[in-house]
Structure 1
Amino acid sequence: MSVPHQPDGPPPVVDLPSTAGRRPVLYALTCGSPLARNVGTLVEAAQRDGWEVCVVATPDGTKFIDPAALAQQTGHPVRSRYKNPGDPDLLPSADAMIVCPATVNTLNKWAAGITDTLVLGLLIEGQGKGLPIVAVPFTNTAMAAHPAFRDSLVRLRGWGVTVLFGDPYFPLHPPGAGEAHLNAFPWQAPLSALR
């Protein structure tokens, strides 16, 4: 089945679900990228906007973050693996999700319906529930040029996911140059897309 191409441009306005007097819960999902080191910036901005934030990382994402510091910042443990059968849920249910940074690997698996990490399971389940989801890929020009990645972006957009990619959000960088661009990343952009 082919999904129509959606040009890069301003994200659609997303209607947030009613939260019945409580703060809405945002899942900040992060993947294995050096940009994940700064996910606390997203947490802080989301909290200023009135969100209760929970951080969930892919196993490779945990290599770049400080789970203890993020747990202190959010008041929730940082999850990275599926819980054992019978264990209680440690996080409140999400009202919206931002996956940032989203790696090529995670986006391609998500578009293929693969749930071999907790982040992917949450994204696929959240999509099935109709939650607002914003995906922000962070990759280099060589990886972004792969046809499967481009097809995955088109598929996810076609399914209602807001994808903030490349210009005008954040210009792609050449391979090996990502570290030089981390401090310029527009962490407010995915939050603005949820408003």
Structure 2
Amino acid sequence: MLLFFGLCYTADLLRRCLALKMLIPRLNCGSAFSPTCSQSSWHVLLTLGAHRGWAPIAVEISTAFLQGGAPFRDHENLCGWAPVHVDDISIAGTDSLISSILEALHGVFSVGSGKREKYVFCGVHSECKRDDDGNLIEITLDQQKYIDEIAEISLEESTDRGRLLNAKETTLYRGLIGALSWCTGQTRPDFSYSVCRLSQRSSKPTVLDGLQ
């Protein structure tokens, strides 16, 4: 993630290198990596946004591996927080900071249109809510679209709920548990226990496990 204390960044800091396939890493193109955003970094952004009234914005950099110099601190007054996940960036900060960052990014990359107030970042839908005076009072998260798109398991008809799932059914079962596990760690801790209990059955799941 990038932390912004005052005007503590330059275009060089935001510049990223596109590593072509024909280049040899460490020989003629330097190191290349895709940074990923941790869950805690994302939650810090939301907390700062809600506390300071910063409506987060999300932007995407087209076709780029991101790398660059380390951020540095210029002033003690925190004015922004920007988690980076591969080519997606979410920014919470002052309007002037966000405008400066977007201007610098557009000067280097092909950048998608920024989405503010309501957007999806790392599979999580975020929406800002304001009071009648326009003050930011709440940031809500949900993964309804993600959950709706999780495919249900198709099991062979059986009256024996204790029957072990076949190889194909077991693969589908494990995929479903994995999808649900990721969701519980993001926005749905309420069914963490159920998913955890069913994941313990992944080696030999039964029809009953699949139905649950």
TM-score range, shorter chain: under 0.3
More strand by share: 2
More helix by share: 1
Structure with the greater relative contact order (CA < 8 A, sep ≥ 6): 1 or 2? Answer: 1
Q: Which has the greater radius of gyration?
A: 2
